[in-house]
């Protein structure tokens, strides 16, 4: 596994190594030793799958409030997505800055998202499946979000026309 720290300190792009032979491929999705070697303590508590039928489905920007904030490792098992993180650490020099990566079923890339970051994505293909590994349990009373189109953040989504967004995500407030 190759770890590359992103511009937003503490966030990493992780590239998994795939091994191929006559049977197909084998890819290690997670290795606690590799994470620790790169200074990341990540204990998996929960795993989630987000199945998205249509291109231009937008989910986010989501986060858990303190004291139940969560870190995530996100990957794409089918299709592709424009994956976005926003730094919500008030004392960080990159507070309210965002960064994006494309995750897809061919590039074997994963995104490590530290706690106190918001997360969202837009699907780039029909039938996109996103896989989340989380270091904390879901607590609905601490779950929150920020509007995907908040002008203070200014995310440049690949296509903001004909987006598929649920009512909860549309109802989040601007900062």
List the domains of the chain with CATH numbers: 44-171 (2.60.120.10)
Which of the following is catalytic: 68, 131, 132, 143? 132
Sorted by sequence, the CB contacts under 8 Å of residue 158 that are 6+ apart come out as 82, 122, 124
Instruction: Give me the chain's average pLDDT, please.
Output: 96
Sign of CA dihedral 159, 122, 78, 106: positive
Which of the following is catalytic: 62, 68, 131, 143? 62
Per the annotation, the verdict on 62 as an active-site residue is yes
pLDDT at res. 161: 87
pTM recorded for the entire structure: 0.94
pLDDT digits (tens, 9 = 90+) for 57-94: 999 999 999 999 999 999 999 999 999 999 999 999 99
Token pair of 76, please?
């794409």
Helix, strand, coil share (%) of the chain residues, nearest 5: 10, 45, 50
Per the annotation, the verdict on 19 as an active-site residue is no
């Amino acid at each position: 596994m190759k770890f590359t720290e992103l511009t937003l300190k503490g966030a990493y792009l992780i590239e998994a190594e795939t091994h191929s032979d006559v049977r197909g491929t084998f890819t290690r999705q997670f290795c606690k030793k590799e994470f620790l070697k790169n200074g990341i303590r990540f204990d998996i508590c929960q795993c989630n799958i987000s199945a998205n039928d249509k291109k231009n489905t937008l989910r986010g920007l989501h986060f858990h409030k303190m004291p139940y904030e969560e870190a995530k490792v996100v990957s794409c098992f089918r299709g592709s997505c424009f994956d976005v993180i926003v730094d919500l650490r008030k004392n960080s020099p990159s507070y309210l800055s965002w960064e994006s990566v494309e995750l897809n079923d061919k590039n074997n890339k994963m995104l490590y998202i530290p706690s106190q970051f918001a997360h969202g994505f837009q699907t780039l293909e029909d039938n996109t499946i996103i896989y989340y590994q989380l270091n904390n349990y879901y607590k609905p009373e601490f779950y929150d979000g920020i509007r995907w189109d908040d002008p203070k953040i200014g995310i440049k989504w690949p296509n903001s026309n004909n987006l598929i967004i649920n009512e909860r995500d549309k109802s989040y407030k601007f900062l």
